[in-house]
Structure 1
């Protein structure tokens, strides 16, 4: 294996599998620094229960599912609340839309075929598939996963829908000192790249940066110096939504592939310099 990351400081935004990522970075000659941008995730059973009950009572014209695990969790929660069959009737009686292949697989198990679905696993792809549909005056349930999908919710509201979000999982914010440290390192170009493995990590970084008035500096650093690396399309989409256009995302959505692509990027950069 080459040493494409020779001496470069690579920040890791993940909270899981950081040892594996660090090892891969070291094998490429890089210096890994773990800066977790993702807090814990918990099942918000008490919080979502009343909302789930309310949804079953009123139903919806449309149901939109954004993750496979969230889709399955709502079914399980409805069963625990003793409203499983009524919940299934409510979602089967509505038009369904889906984001991601795992979500489509989860809906298939429930006997539901979406009338709209993304082609690339992104929220933008899902919105594109919904453009031709009429949502004026329609009641739309949206299953979210830990965080809001602002672009999707805004799209539906602008189309005249009454949006009813259900969040079976919630995210606890990451350690503020850690996020502040990474913001400082990015702004001062003290890291060469930041590896993002989920969209939540992107949101955490920029939420903190906006709160403290230096989001523009973060974007500028990513645009001209520090490289933002995204593990896949959904994470890359989150970066673009925050204004980051200069980014790297592997074709194969895996952490190992991201590190290899990162090493290749810098190898190519060095070759260009020596020509």
Structure 2
């Protein structure tokens, strides 16, 4: 008998849904698409202003959280004929970076971060940043999709004067889809919910809070629906939202996550 037989799994991503569905079906499960990703809309109208601020060395620290954020800021500087000034300013500022894609993009610009996360997560970045005092300093915080509430709270607690830089404005996921997803979880209709990015986590819990159903949602994830994550970074976002039981593979791969979920259910069945 296939390990996901009889299991209904919601896919919260917006890409490769057919491919992921086949992986689930190959294990005997039923996959349903419930996109909680939201979409990047346009370059933020304030981005040129923020690029100008960076090139004028207005920040003591610049915190980059995504590779695409670094790339978008650099491309915007190119369009403004300010790319050399941008790189010079980045070399003078103290840089903190989360994730290998971010570090690789900075490396292309000959920028070596003063602070790197220890595990690819926002929490890992925060652990490393905690060794530094940012009190009274001007900080640029580049975000993309993930609002990073704990990191922003830490900056506020440490009295840093920070400015958010959002390379793209975002539109939230379809409200009808989110309403359906939330009610399916709360009604016990889903066996597992598959998160493939941190924005999906934030979007679901923000929606639940708006509906006054956050605690109910947490209870469902602890007692009924299994939270499945594509990797440790997204798993960390779930932990930050108060979800203790999160299944995820060591290597961040969609196929590996599905196999990990199948293994989880097989072990649960063996316990019974």
**TM-score tier after normalising by the smaller chain length:** over 0.9
2:235 and 2:168 map into 1 onto residues whose CA distance is 22
Partner of 1:140: 139
Partner deviation per Cα, 1:190-220 (whole Å, 9 max, x = no partner): 0100000001001111111100101111100
Deviation at 1:164, TM superposition (A): 1.6
Q: Is the 8 A contact 1:98 1:116 kept in 2?
A: yes
Partner of 2:205: 206
Task: Give the TM-score of the pair, scaled to structure 1.
Answer: 0.95
Over the residues paired in the alignment, what is the CA RMSD in angstroms?
1.3
Deviation at 1:170, TM superposition (A): 2.7
1:238 and 1:206 map into 2 onto residues whose CA distance is 11
Deviation at 1:270, TM superposition (A): 1.1
Q: How does 1:123-134 map to 2 (within 5 A)?
A: 123-134=122-133
145-154 or 239-248, which moves further after superposition?
Answer: 145-154
Q: Is the 8 A contact 2:54 2:90 kept in 1?
A: no
Q: Is the 8 A contact 1:52 1:166 kept in 2?
A: no
Task: Give the TM-score of the pair, scaled to structure 2.
Answer: 0.96
Partner deviation per Cα, 1:30-62 (whole Å, 9 max, x = no partner): 011110001222341534222222333352111
2:53 and 2:131 map into 1 onto residues whose CA distance is 29
Deviation at 1:179, TM superposition (A): 0.6
Q: Is the 8 A contact 1:45 1:77 kept in 2?
A: no
Secondary structure class of the residue paired with 1:128: helix
User: Are 1:67 and 2:66 counterparts?
Assistant: yes
2:190 and 2:44 map into 1 onto residues whose CA distance is 39
User: Are 1:197 and 2:223 counterparts?
Assistant: no
Secondary structure class of the residue paired with 2:141: strand
Aligned length: 272
Q: Is the 8 A contact 1:198 1:235 kept in 2?
A: yes
Q: Is the 8 A contact 2:143 2:167 kept in 1?
A: yes
Partner of 2:169: 170
Q: Is the 8 A contact 2:14 2:37 kept in 1?
A: yes
1:8 and 1:214 map into 2 onto residues whose CA distance is 24
